[in-house]
Amino acid sequence: MNLSRDEVRKALIDSILEVAPEADFTQLRPDRPVRGQLDIDSFDFLTILERLHAKIGVEVPEADYGKMMTLDGSVDYLMRLLAAASSAE
Amino acid sequence: MPSLGADMEDGTFVEWQVEPGQAVARGQVVCVVETQKGAVEVEIWESGVLAKRIAVPGQKIPVGQVMALIATGGEDWKAIAAAVPAPPPPTAPGDEPQAPSPAPTRETAGATPGAPPVSGRVKVSPAARRRAEELGVDLSAVNASGAHGAISIADVELAAAAKKPRDTQAAMRDAIAAAMSRSKREIPHYYLASEINVEHAVTWLEKRNAVVPIGERVLFVALQLKAVALALRDSPELNGFYRDGAFRPGAGMHLGVAVSLRGGGLVAPALHDVDKSSLAELMAQLKDLLRRARSGQLRSSELSDPTITVTNLGDLGVDTVFGVIYPPQVALIGLGRSALKPWVTNGEIVPARIVQATLSADHRVSDGMRGARFLVELDRLLQQPQSLA
């Protein structure tokens, strides 16, 4: 799957909105941790990753949760993960 | 009307999900009731045939009042239904939902309604007025966006949506206030805390989660819940209720899981028989429960059954929880975050993830000795995560 950065960002935001429908991304600081800003607990976070997996087919390993702190950082990380997956094919 | 919590006084009936003449089995969802904790699916506690539905939508019903008649043991449901006079006010009998609120009667007039229940002139279409009645929206408080300043259906629905969360939140805040005030007034709490090294348990879980599909990952809290349930086997005085001046042990390890809700408030619905579930089953049940708690689709047994509450505030970065017991329960377990700290093992200082586990317990029922035994057992179980699978 060859996804653009915007497509990955949209998939992530859509996944977050499914869990936190009241989230206002215009108020979100993209360089600050997302979970604290949107009250996302570990259960919500796992749900978001499950939704993301259904949308774009990436499985974020638990060991990499720390790379998904900010919105921008998460998109960077997901792009790398997708690139690694496609080069492995 | 069942009591769905210590301080529930009444509930507002929403809808029936069964018809007269239909067979019902104990535990089956038969109707929906709006409570301070949101809409709750009420499970019937007796099997039989539904003879007559007495509660009507919109009716406020005190705890203990009859909502329906059930024919049991081969009774003729039609005879029972026929023997009962029409239900009492506030509304006439019938299957049509009727709001008992003093809503104006349906207007059939167009742009010039005979007597709008508002001051000043409000332009509103008949359809929008009908919708406002259904939703209990005061038209004078609706912002009009339609042509020539008329109120549209969308305006009414927007006003209803804006009104609801505030009301339910205020009701939930009242319910929490009542329960916690009673707890602090009546329950002589004692508090104990233990630092538990969870390095081995977390590592074990991480290894397990690394080799299963994402949908089968287990959160650490599920492992902790299992450990709490198993540790309670040795401390039955912490699991149950204090009622009428005496302790009554719980019928199972039904852990009330404190769930904070988006937009404020919290509920602590029960995960049933946690000690008997496998870790995978427990995680699936927890996911289902959290999802329904947050979408307001809990069942009556989940609100009335918890025998003890577990509060996990670790996700929020809290180290230690000083819990307030939810009456009539007699204990609450608090779990803080797992934080990397220096730990001394065999004379060496090693980094390890540490969790503060706390116990708030009712001194009318147990003493510190018993409470201490529970925390020690919890620690022991968390050192053997494979035994919790």
Q: pLDDT by residue (tens digit) across B7-45?
A: 678 888 988 999 999 999 988 899 988 887 777 889 898
Token pair recorded at residue B222: 């599920």
Q: pLDDT by residue (tens digit) across B241-270?
A: 999 999 999 999 999 999 988 777 888 999
ipTM score here?
0.88
Q: Give the pLDDT score at A89.
A: 63
* Statement: residue B110 has pLDDT above 50: no
DSSP string for B181-203 = HHHHHH--EEEEEEEEE-HHHHH
Q: What's the rounded Cα separation, in Å, for the pair B285 and B219? A: 12
Q: Does A49 touch chain B (CB under 8 A)?
A: yes
Give chain B's contact residues with A (Cβ, < 8 Å). Answer: 206, 209-210, 213-215, 217, 219-221, 260, 262-263, 286-287, 290, 315-316
Work out the mean pLDDT of chain B and round it to a whole number.
85
CB contact at 8 A, B221 and A42: yes
Q: Give the pLDDT score at B108.
A: 35
What dihedral angle (degrees, nearest 10) is formed by the CA atoms of A73, A75, A76, A79?
160
What dihedral angle (degrees, nearest 10) is formed by the CA atoms of B98, B102, B103, B105?
80
Q: Does A53 touch chain B (CB under 8 A)?
A: yes
| CA distance to partner chain B, nearest, from residue A79 (Å) | 19
- From the list A62, A65, A66, A71, the residue with the least C-alpha distance to A15 is A71
- From the list B216, B237, B228, B363, the residue with the least C-alpha distance to B287 is B216
Question: Residue B224's pLDDT band (boundaries 50, 70, 90)?
Answer: very high
Q: Domains (ranges, CATH) in chain A?
A: 5-22+29-88 (1.10.1200.10)
Q: Give the pLDDT score at B165.
A: 53
- From the list A48, A21, A41, A37, the residue with the least C-alpha distance to B165 is A21
Give B-chain residues touching A39 at CB under 8 angstroms.
Answer: 260, 262
- From the list B215, B219, B262, the residue facing A43 with the nearest CB is B219
Q: pLDDT by residue (tens digit) across B337-346?
A: 999 999 999 9
Residue B346's DSSP bridge partners are none
Query: What average pLDDT score do residues B320-336 get?
Result: 96
Q: What's the rounded Cα separation, in Å, for the pair B350 and B336? A: 21
Phi-psi region of B65 (alpha: psi -120 to 50; beta: other; left: phi over 0): beta
Q: What's the rounded Cα separation, in Å, for the pair B79 and B92? A: 21
**Residue B179 CA from chain centroid, whole number:** 14
* Statement: residue A41 has pLDDT above 50: yes
Q: What's the rounded Cα separation, in Å, for the pair B374 and B372? A: 5
B210/A61 CB distance under 8 A = yes
Instruction: Say what the pTM is.
Output: 0.74
Q: What's the rounded Cα separation, in Å, for the pair B190 and B181? A: 17
* Statement: residue B73 has pLDDT above 60: yes
